[in-house]
Amino acid sequence: MVSNIWTAAADNHLESVQRFINSGDFTANSKDPNGYTPIHAAASYGHLDLIEYLVSQKGGDINIQDNEGDTPLHHVEDLTTAKALIEQYHADYKIKNNDGLTASEFIEQEDEFPQVAKYLKSLTHDRVEENDIKAGNASRFLESLPRPGTIDGHEIKYTLENDREGAAEEELSSEELEKRRRKIESILNSDNPELGLRELVKNAVHEGMLQYNEMEQQKRSNTEHISVPNKASDLTLEELKAMSIWQRAAIRDWRLEFFTIGFILLFVLLYKAGDLYNKSKVISFLKAIEPTFKKQFFQFGVLPNRLYVKDSSENYASYATGRLNIAKVDLKFTLAPRQNVFLWIMEYCFSIFTSSVRSPVDKVDIIITPSGKYDNFISSIVSKLGMDEARKLNYFLSLCKTTDSQVLPQSFVYMSEANEFQEKITTNDLKQALTLQSASYVKFIAFTDQPTIKPENLREFIPNRRVVIELKLTNNKEALKVISNVLEAVFNIVDKLSDQSITFRPETIRKIVKTREFEIEKLKKIEQEAKDEKLAEEQAKLKREERDKLRNMSREDQLKAEKRAQERKQKKMQRKQKVRM
């Protein structure tokens, strides 16, 4: 059951408010110890039906002030309620509180409800006093208003002249002029003169435009067209209706339609050309490395008679399976958006000015998933062209240290967790396959068990052994021959790792395990900080709910609750002092 009339008004319990008022102990203007009334509560929470009951039926004062001088308008929180109080219940928006602030200034200072503050601030016209309402004042007020303007050289205006020239111009009698003046005076003497004058000006402008359109229509109907028009705009609606479809088409200006159709055709042609070019690059690459995959795998292609699948004009994929020690090989192609010239140009331009947008390039990622088991490690051979970008985009490379070696061509470097790994994976076949020029299209060859994207939870730290080869998509025959040799060498290295022909010292593996554990501890710390932050948010939410609950209590209950909280605080302080002693 609601404890008091002010809480009932805040919660929009109309029946409870009616019961309190009908008991005779409360009225619509009854104040609590802070001067807060049911009208304040209803206005604050936007209960318009309750405001209607309190003000219209129970004689509530819409401008009543609390102990701080605030009216219900000071407590409004939404635009609909503010407009209702001003326009329907004629609330005085000029009343100031004890701090000398009007409702507009008070709400603007709080900076919580900008729409309400803007609306109240727009009410710039003060109420006109009765002593100032004269016919001359009314005319001067109208003259200060902005004129609607001109249309085709014809001025549309609204006037309140009482001179003979104005009366003759509008053909109005003195009684009609007097009637207009009285209408203006009654508007200026109303509670909201601005709204009334707006309606008057709007109607005057509308009537003037209607009269002008009627005059123009009459002129057109009285004018005979001597020559045949060259444009459809030279004809009236009746003349256009009388013409056949071919006659209308003959005088129609089709330039915009022709331009639109031409633009669409050009876009479709460019789209198709870019799409076909991307497709041809993928097919040429797959055809060139097909002999190598056919030699090593039972199946090369997504189907026995199909080499690739097209996900979009920019993305293609292929697949190989059926080999000892290798479960599968995924080939993922990413190409420049040549089918959309505008997007292609935009991405290229953005990449010049910001590092967050990469320049469009054609590349292929070859991901080899071994089926055999071997130790988890990270070791890679990386091209010096784009070495920093490769480290930034691949998390597993950020765990490695960079070293130069005479074993590799000068255009490549090692990125490994330990030197032993790079020495063991660099077989003679791989050394012979790599050339100085191959760094321009072989971006990196990486043996890894860690993800490409930095893990955000412990599940993502689970080792996933694979070999990642990133290549620039090329159709050069010499480059494709080098790529085929590199692939054969990598397949043989996977065989040696699975057959334990390549093994690593235990102390090296222990060092790698420590690195993994350090990364896991860092992630655990981040997760714990996130949990602590979430717990703090929940505690803050509980405190807000307690404050809201306390605010809805009666004054007596509030004092009791505050007293209990103070006692708990004192007991807590006493316990702390005992512990220190």
- Both tokens of 533, joined, read 């932050």
Q: What's the CATH code of the domain at 38?
A: 1.25.40.20
What's the rounded Cα separation, in Å, for the pair 432 and 413?
16
Predicted pLDDT of residue 578: 57
Same domain, 135 and 204: yes
- Both tokens of 69, joined, read 């001088």
Residue 326's DSSP bridge partners are 323, 370
Return the number of other C-beta atoms located less than 10 Å from residue 198's C-beta.
13
Same domain, 387 and 494: yes
Domain termination site, one of 479, 504, 529: 504
Helix H or strand E encompassing 208: helix 193-222
What's the rounded Cα separation, in Å, for the pair 343 and 193?
56
Same domain, 497 and 388: yes
Nearest to 382 by CA among 466, 439, 450, 454: 439
Predicted pLDDT of residue 129: 43
Same domain, 117 and 168: no
What's the rounded Cα separation, in Å, for the pair 133 and 56?
30
Centroid of chain to Cα 408: 49
The structure tokens 């930095």 sit at 454
Helix H or strand E encompassing 557: helix 555-580
**Is 234 a member of any domain?**
no
Question: Which range of residues forms the domain containing residue 180?
Answer: 130-222
Tens digit of each residue's pLDDT, the chain (581 residues): 577 888 888 888 888 889 888 888 889 899 888 888 999 888 889 899 989 999 988 889 999 999 889 999 888 989 899 899 898 998 988 899 998 889 888 888 888 888 888 888 888 444 444 444 444 444 555 555 545 555 445 455 545 444 444 444 455 567 777 777 777 777 777 766 777 777 777 777 667 777 777 777 776 665 544 344 556 667 788 887 888 888 888 888 888 999 999 999 999 999 999 999 999 999 999 999 999 999 999 999 998 889 999 999 999 999 999 999 999 999 999 999 988 888 888 887 887 887 777 788 899 999 999 998 999 999 999 999 989 999 999 999 998 999 999 999 999 999 999 999 998 999 999 999 999 999 999 999 999 999 999 888 878 888 899 999 999 999 999 999 999 999 999 999 999 999 999 999 999 888 888 888 888 888 888 888 888 888 888 888 888 887 787 777 777 777 777 788 788 777 767 765 655 55
Q: What angle do CA 14, 17, 23 make, to 5 degrees?
A: 140
**Is 252 a member of any domain?**
no
46: left (phi over 0), alpha (psi -120 to 50) or beta: left
Predicted pLDDT of residue 579: 52
Same domain, 464 and 327: yes
What's the rounded Cα separation, in Å, for the pair 413 and 404?
5
Q: Contact 524/468 with Cβ under 8 angstroms? A: no
**Is 441 a member of any domain?**
yes
What's the rounded Cα separation, in Å, for the pair 160 and 176?
11
Same domain, 144 and 116: no
Predicted pLDDT of residue 128: 41
Domain termination site, one of 504, 536, 553: 504
Predicted pLDDT of residue 161: 44
Report the predicted TM-score, pTM, of the whole model to 2 decimal places: 0.52
Domain termination site, one of 222, 240, 265: 222
What's the rounded Cα separation, in Å, for the pair 435 and 445?
14
Nearest to 413 by CA among 392, 376, 388: 388
**Is 102 a member of any domain?**
yes
Q: How many domains does the chain have?
A: 4
Predicted pLDDT of residue 8: 87
Nearest to 316 by CA among 446, 443, 473: 473
Same domain, 103 and 171: no
Predicted pLDDT of residue 204: 74
Same domain, 367 and 444: yes
Predicted pLDDT of residue 3: 76
